Amino acid sequence: MHELLNHPAAQAGLIPFLAGLAAAELFQRARLSGLAIIAGFAATVYLASDFDFYPLNASRKIILSGLACAALALIIDVLRLRWVGPLLLLLGGATTIWTALRILQQQEPQLMLQWGAACAAYVAILIWGMDKLLDQEPVRAASAGTALGIGTGGAALVGASGLLGQFGLALGSAAAAHLLIQLYTNQTLQTGRVFTLPLAMIAGLTGCIAVLGAKLPWYALIVLAGIPLAARLVPIPGGSVRIQSLLLVPLTSVFAIAAIYLTWRVAGDVPF
């Protein structure tokens, strides 16, 4: 058992999937199944890293931001604060700058501004894109979350960071657990901002730090940013959630695979 818990694939795949599955089931009646995302992510952090925040480096800031976002989103969902959307974009941008600050400070002023602005914009776009999916069928957010997590994690893993890779893959696994319940029951399952906000924030920050601190090419982020948009725009037939999933999952997965492929072309094989 100890060996299984120490295995990186179990830490980033199986365990967050099971944690997500349990959380989605447990909080279904409270209409907070979206807690699956932070449950899966927290399980991975517990096993692969820790909740020690000293020194507060970029990876630890991602963990802290993810947990804070989940708490904030929980309040927003419980109080049904629908008007906070634009504020969340500003929050995403500011959190990105805070997370990447020490890396940005090592750069020339012009590069610092360019990278800081681009990263903040990327995270804000992901938050906006995932937030827009809340107005549509929950299966769209779950499919987009699965692809965004796996795409970000896979690309970060290939781009030479195992830990950032695990962060992204944990999101994908937890979102896949949420999606699986919908597939199995053929019924929609509530997502909410408690699903979309931490997912977009953690995936966005992970992608940015993998670009700035490792070898993830910046244009892979453009491909990943297309996932929520694709999940929103593709027409799907009403009725069967299973058929909707079977249409959405392959489509969004194309973007995830493309991002991983682009990173592999630059970084080559995984060095570990």
CB of 20 to another protein, least distance (A): 24
Which of 131, 166, 141, 132 is CA-nearest to residue 152? 166
- Does 263 bind another protein (CB under 8 A)? Our answer is no
36-48 and 58-79 helices, crossing angle to 10°: 160
Q: How many residues bind another protein (CB under 8 A)?
A: 28
Stretch that binds another protein, among 22-30, 46-54, 74-82, 133-141 (CB under 8 A): 46-54
State the maximum Cα–Cα separation within the chain, in Å, rounded to a whole number.
54
Tell me the C-alpha distance between 173 and 40, whole Å: 7
CB of 126 to another protein, least distance (A): 20
CB of 106 to another protein, least distance (A): 6
Based on CB atoms, which residue is closest to another protein, 165 or 226? 165
The answer, yes or no, to whether the previous bond of 55 is cis (omega within 30 of 0) is yes
Residues 67-126 that bind another protein (CB under 8 A): 102-103, 106
Cβ–Cβ < 8 Å for 198, 181: no
Phi and psi for 172 in degrees, rounded to 5?
Answer: -60, -40
250: Cβ contacts below 8 Å, ≥ 6 apart: none
Based on CB atoms, which residue is closest to another protein, 87 or 265? 265
- For another protein, which residue of 213, 217, 226, 228 counts as binding (CB under 8 A)? 213
Tell me the C-alpha distance between 207 and 73, whole Å: 21
Based on CB atoms, which residue is closest to another protein, 194 or 210? 210
Which DSSP string corresponds to 127-162? HHHHHHGGGS-HHHHHHHHHHHHHHHHHHHHHTT-H
CB of 220 to another protein, least distance (A): 16
- For another protein, which residue of 32, 72, 127, 209 counts as binding (CB under 8 A)? 209
- The mark string for 215-254 relative to another protein (x by CB under 8 A, - otherwise) is x---------------------------------------
- Does 214 bind another protein (CB under 8 A)? Our answer is yes
Residues 140-169 that bind another protein (CB under 8 A): 160-164
162-185 and 36-48 helices, crossing angle to 10°: 150
Tell me the C-alpha distance between 133 and 147, whole Å: 14
Cβ–Cβ < 8 Å for 14, 48: no
Based on CB atoms, which residue is closest to another protein, 182 or 206? 206
Based on CB atoms, which residue is closest to another protein, 205 or 227? 205
Site of tokens 């994690």 = 153
Residues 174-203 that bind another protein (CB under 8 A): none
Residues 49-68 that bind another protein (CB under 8 A): 49-50, 52, 54-55, 57-59
Q: Which residues bind another protein (CB under 8 A)?
A: 6, 49-50, 52, 54-55, 57-59, 102-103, 106, 160-164, 209-210, 212-215, 267-269, 271-272
